[in-house]
Amino acid sequence: MGTINIFRTTAVLLAVVTCSSSVEDKAHWRKIALDDITRKLYHTPNTRVAKNVVLMIGDGMGISTVTSARILKGQLKGKAGEETFLNFEKFPYTGLSKVYSQDYQVPDSAATASAMMTGVKTNSRCMGVDGLAMPGECRNLTERRLNGMGHWANDAGKSTGFVTTSRVTHATPAAMYAVTTNRDWEDDRSVPKNTGSPYCTDIAWQLIHNNSHMNVIMGGGSANFVPTTASDPVTLRSGRRLDDTNLIEVWKNDKIQRNANYSKAYNAKQLEDIDPANTQYLLGLFASSHMAYELDRNKEPEGEPSLADMTRKAIQVLSNNDNGFFLMVEGERNDDDCNIN
């Protein structure tokens, strides 16, 4: 049965490709070039100050992955594929950056996301510190810690938030809010104890205790916020924390104490039902660990929202602030095969 299906799919794809790839003459290619150059020549730079900033990160999304995505997009529309554009490829400005970290040619998300957020390269596994901080060493970091876009936006009176399909404590989102020399300290299980360092706290703890200004937090990783003695609201199994602290309750109590409107969501329906006009703070946790790939996602109301659903709701909530907002959106696990993500 499976084999037959695979052959059928292959046959359909081949047929689509053969029928649609038409041969173009020289006028076709020269027109594309002329249109491109004309567009660039007549492009007027926008010199106004941006009110809102949305940083979208495709984790591990290198050029070869972008190429595959572009071809698939075209083929799904019955074309050959290569001639298609992803939407962001038509932005007026594009560029490439060198994403090495201070200590690795092939870096990890911690150091690279930290560089995107702060503008400063650092060692792999580290976030929110400069390159003089040693991986795994959490003493003497006061001089090493860095602020980044999330803090700058907050200082400018803007709302801030992030959505991700990874755990909200994973390296890319954590680079927006955590100060740590070990990306693996997502909950309190492996953090060195009794060091006396204010930076030897786990990433989930830092998100709730050190970033209470953050308006929108959405993604997976609920287990890192719930102790082993309590039930994870997403899975109804026990959480991972050893410190007997329920950080979701801490988050909620902080908002109550500050008389702020808040909403929580643990599935797609609950997220959809949230009225953004009455929500200053939104915490959405939709999986105990990473969220599912879009293809595998449970699309029922009690399942997970899509990255697009989360992004839409985040923009609505953050738009309550007339001063604007900073939002980070991460599509995670593009590079899952290579294990460093």
Please give the C-alpha separations between residue 304 and each of 189, 215, 327, in angstroms, as whole numbers. 27, 20, 20
User: CB of 293: closest distance to ligand NAG in angstroms?
Assistant: 32
Question: Looking at 20, 75, 102, 210, which residue binds ligand NAG (CB under 6 A)?
Answer: 210
Question: Looking at 119, 192, 198, 301, which residue binds ligand NAG (CB under 6 A)?
Answer: 198
Residue 289 touching ligand NAG (CB under 6 A): no
User: CB of 337: closest distance to ligand NAG in angstroms?
Assistant: 33
Site for ligand NAG in 228-267 (CB under 6 A): 261
Residue 157 touching ligand NAG (CB under 6 A): no
Distance separating alpha carbons of residues 19 and 150, to the nearest angstrom:
49
Residue 199 touching ligand NAG (CB under 6 A): yes
Residue 281 touching ligand NAG (CB under 6 A): no
Fill in the DSSP letter of residue 89. Answer: G
Are the C-beta atoms of 320 and 277 separated by less than 8 Å?
yes
Q: Which strand (E) or helix (H) includes residue 161?
A: strand 159-167
Residue by residue, DSSP assigns 169-233 as: TSHHHHTTT--BS-TT-SSTTSSPSS---TT-S-HHHHHHHS-TT--EEEEE-GGGGSBTTSB-T
Q: Does residue 22 have an active-site annotation?
A: no
Token readout for 339 is: 């294990």
Residue 140 touching ligand NAG (CB under 6 A): yes
Find the part of the chain contacting ligand NAG (CB under 6 A) among 19-27, 31-39, 104-112, 205-213. 205-213
Active-site residue (options: 20, 68, 109, 114): 109
3-state class (DSSP) for residue 337: helix
Find the part of the chain contacting ligand NAG (CB under 6 A) among 28-36, 101-109, 198-206, 227-235. 198-206
Please give the C-alpha separations between residue 300 and each of 234, 268, 304, 309, in angstroms, as whole numbers. 15, 8, 8, 13
Residue 179 touching ligand NAG (CB under 6 A): yes
Residue 307 touching ligand NAG (CB under 6 A): no
Closest-by-Cβ residue to ligand NAG is 198
Per-residue binding letters, 24-63, with ligand NAG (x by CB under 6 A) = ----------------------------------------
Distance separating alpha carbons of residues 82 and 155, to the nearest angstrom:
44
Distance separating alpha carbons of residues 180 and 96, to the nearest angstrom:
27
User: CB of 102: closest distance to ligand NAG in angstroms?
Assistant: 18
Distance separating alpha carbons of residues 251 and 205, to the nearest angstrom:
10
Binding site for Mg(2+): residue ranges? 59, 170, 172, 330
Binding site: residue ranges? 59, 170, 172, 330, 335
Q: Which spans of this chain sit near ligand NAG (rule: CB under 6 A)?
A: 137, 139-140, 179, 198-199, 206, 209-210, 261, 278, 280
Active site residues: 109
